[in-house]
Amino acid sequence: MSLKKRTLCPGQEVIVVYEKNAGFVQEKATFREYRYVPLGKVNHQTPVFDYQKQELLGLDCFWLLPSDIQSPEQVERIQKELIEVQIVARQIAIENGWEVPSKIKDREIEKMAQENADRSQALILKFGFDPRDETWIEKELAANDLESKWFAYERQNGFVFAATGDEFVQQFNAQTGASLTLEDAKALSKKRMRYLLGAYHVRMSGNSDVDAWKKAATDFEEMHRNRETRMLEWSEKHKGAWPLVRVKLPVTFWYGPYFNRCIENIPHVFTDTSCQKIKEGVILRMVSYDPQEQYVRLDFTPDVRAKIKPDDVNKDMPWKKESADYEIWVRPSEFGTHIELIAPECL
């Protein structure tokens, strides 16, 4: 959700998506004027709307511009996010001793915000910093201003690409004047996530050395980027001539969003109806491989894959995964024990 401040013009229409007395709504309102309203010892400029034949202050509602709304589902998603936004806002206010309006009046929200603030303060007292704070990556590891803005944007929005990829990138470009593509954004998101994972144990151990955080983060990111590059190069080299393997011991399978198609169309490849293990004797394709560390990505043969994904946009590039997809897992240590190459010379 974008928290960017925007200036309204008299007579401009907005859509109220939350009103403190009615709760979640989707109703039109018309902007009348800006008015200074006292909050604590400070006068805050707040919009005033004509709403259902009465006056409605911006302090008492959340609103969107009609141009912000692409679909009813988008409004519902934003409404769900409002609760988390309110919790975070209250937590920040508590931590800094600020007086800010609570548009969503709920004891549980206040309780959660207070608990989060207490927990953060306890960590700061113990370690000298909050190990859950992700803002350091934007300051210490971003290679340029664009990366810093993207890292901050992703953190602030709690973004998950699987849900809102294109829309999210479009919003970022509109707010920053950037021209990121979806693929550019995915690469930056992957980079940020690797930084977070790489530094996680160092930071959570209480180590306050920022240089140690940076080294752990960059080493982890480089390791995974290099492995990904080797696997992609292997896939390009073997495209269209994938080596086949035979399952020797049951291998782990995650069906993702395709459970019904798996149990209905290919039950014979699994050990049981849970569809969580591929049984012995099943033939699979190696579609990506790291010769250095023996990480491997497996897939079904085209005839079986087609029964799971009849409208497969990546059938010629089976190593590419959708945001939600099935997965076959074989660890490097299982490469020779759980699967065997049918024609080793093809590797």
Q: How confident is the model at residue 347 (pLDDT cuts 50, 70, 90)?
A: low
pLDDT grade for 186, boundaries at 50, 70 and 90: confident
Q: Is 79 left (phi over 0), alpha (psi -120 to 50) or beta?
A: alpha
pLDDT tier at 162, thresholds 50, 70, 90: very low
The pLDDT of residue 163 is: 45
CA atoms of 262 and 251, how far apart (whole Å): 15
Mean pLDDT (whole number) for 18-30:
90
Top mean-pLDDT range of 101-105, 278-282, 321-325? 278-282
Mean pLDDT rounded to a whole number for the chain: 88
Other Cβ atoms within 10 Å of 106 Cβ, number: 12
Q: Name the most confidently modeled range: 13-27, 39-53, 251-265, 312-326.
A: 251-265
pTM for this predicted structure: 0.69
249 pLDDT above the threshold of 80 = yes
CB atoms within 10 A of CB 104: 18
- The pLDDT of residue 218 is 97
Asked whether the predicted pLDDT for residue 5 surpasses 70, the reply is: no
Does position 327 have pLDDT exceeding 90, yes or no? Answer: yes
Is the confidence at residue 84, as pLDDT, over 90?
no
What are 123-150's pLDDT values in tens digits?
Answer: 888 888 888 888 999 999 999 999 999 9
> Quick check: 164 pLDDT over 80?
no
The strands making up 296-300's β-sheet, listed across from edge to edge, are 296-300, 283-289, 244-247, 339-341
Check residue 328 and give its pLDDT.
Answer: 96
